[in-house]
Amino acid sequence: MALNIRQLTPVFAAEITGVDLRAPLDDETFATIRDAFHTHAVLAFPDQHLDDDQQTKFSERFGALERSIAETISANPVVYHLANVDDEGALLKPDDPKRMILEGNKAWHTDSSFKVVPAMVSLLSAREVPPEGGETEYADMRAAYDALDDNKKRDLEDAIGLHSFAYSQGQLGTGALTGDELDALPPVEHPMIRTHPANGRKALYIGRHASHIVGRLVEESRTLLGELLAFATQPQFTYRHEWRVGDLVMWDNRSVLHRGRPWDESRYRRVMHRTTVAGEAADNPWRVDAAAE
């Protein structure tokens, strides 16, 4: 069966069939997938049914993996279980700290933008899905940037966003991390416009961890961030993935925002496993192979 790439919206996201990600890929097939990834920014692979080891190996083709922030969130530092069930398989109680952390995923964000070197790629596989709801939505920040008027583009050209885990968790009112875990996550600065190294496309870099714009009035810059987010997540820039068990979806955190959609968590299980490819900076302290401080 030949590899087949089908674009899912007029602007981004594609579905790839005709490839088995459980087996090692030859270099040519991998290069085709990587090029499609840089073009479409979100790739959906139906019917893959990967186990953790297969998902890890495929993810590592894109680069060294990223550690999750804390044991509170993920017992396994490399394969993060987003699940509303505990180790015994029981549905989490509404006040379980893990469930509160997962609530955060329901607001538009780009993964680990609160880290000094944010995530490059995230790969999410569906192990158990609810019969309704629980979709994941993506918004193309390249298309959104392209659609900004020239004044806005100029205004944002050199703007720096301040991203903070304490800020975004504070919005949810949770205290799931310990003091030491929070100390490892001081606020960090990132350009609001990022240029993709593979294709030179510019993209807005915003989302829920962005607290304000450095050197501007906090409240004014929060208003601007809110306006930009509303503009950039309009339907013409978005794709909604309706999960089926066995799907693997990967996205480029440099190019898109994403958010999870609600479902009836008191009735239905949803179990997703995520691997994350670390940002490429050589001194990225979150890479799994970096020496822990």
State which of residues 105, 168, 211, 238 lies at the interface with ligand OGA (CB under 6 A): 105
- Contacts with Mn ion by CB under 5 A: the residue count is 1
Residue among 190, 194, 202, 274 that touches ligand OGA (CB under 6 A): 274
CB-side neighbour CA atoms (13 Å) of 1: 8
According to CB under 5 A, which one of 15, 66, 111, 140 is a site residue for Mn ion? 111
Residue 124 within binding range of ligand OGA, rule CB under 6 A: yes
Residues paired with residue 260 on neighbouring β-strands, in sequence order: 136
Closest CA to 278 of 259, 248, 253, 250: 253
- Considering only 127, 260, 275, 279, the residue that binds ligand OGA (CB under 6 A) is 260
Residues whose CB is less than 8 angstroms from the CB of residue 12 and which lie 6 or more positions away in sequence, other chains included: 40, 41, 42, 138, 140, 142, 143, 239, 255, 256
Return the one option of ligand OGA, Mn ion, none that residue 274 interacts with (CB less than 5 to 8 A, by type): ligand OGA
CB 258, min distance to Mn ion, A = 6
82 touching ligand OGA, by CB under 6 A: yes
Residue range at the interface with Mn ion (CB under 5 A); choices 103-111, 174-182, 184-192, 195-203: 103-111
Q: Which listed residue (111, 140, 247, 265) binds ligand OGA by CB under 6 A?
A: 111
Is 100 or 147 the residue whose CB approaches ligand OGA more closely?
100
Across 221-241, b (16+ Cβ under 10 Å) vs e yields beebbeebbeebbeeebbbeb
Q: How far is the CB of 268 from ligand OGA (least distance, A)?
A: 13
Enumerate residues 229-268 that contact Mn ion by CB under 5 A. Answer: none
State yes or no: residue 156 binds ligand OGA (CB under 6 A): no
User: Which 21-50 residues touch ligand OGA, going by CB under 6 A?
Assistant: none
Amino acid (1-letter code) at residue 176: A
Min separation Cβ 2 and Mn ion, Å? 32
Rule CB under 6 A: say whether 83 interacts with ligand OGA. no
Out of 136, 168, 275, 284, name the contact with ligand OGA by CB under 6 A.
Answer: 136
- Comparing every residue's Cβ against ligand OGA, the nearest one is 260
Burial degree of 41 (CB within 10 A; 0-12, 13-18, 19+):
buried
Residues 6+ apart with CB under 8 A from 231: 144, 147, 148
Nearest approach in angstroms of CB 276 to ligand OGA is 8
CB of 111 to Mn ion, least distance (A): 5
Is 19 a binder of ligand OGA (CB under 6 A)?
Answer: no
- Note the residues at the interface with Mn ion (CB under 5 A): 111
- Note the residues at the interface with ligand OGA (CB under 6 A): 82, 105, 111, 122, 124, 136, 258, 260, 272, 274
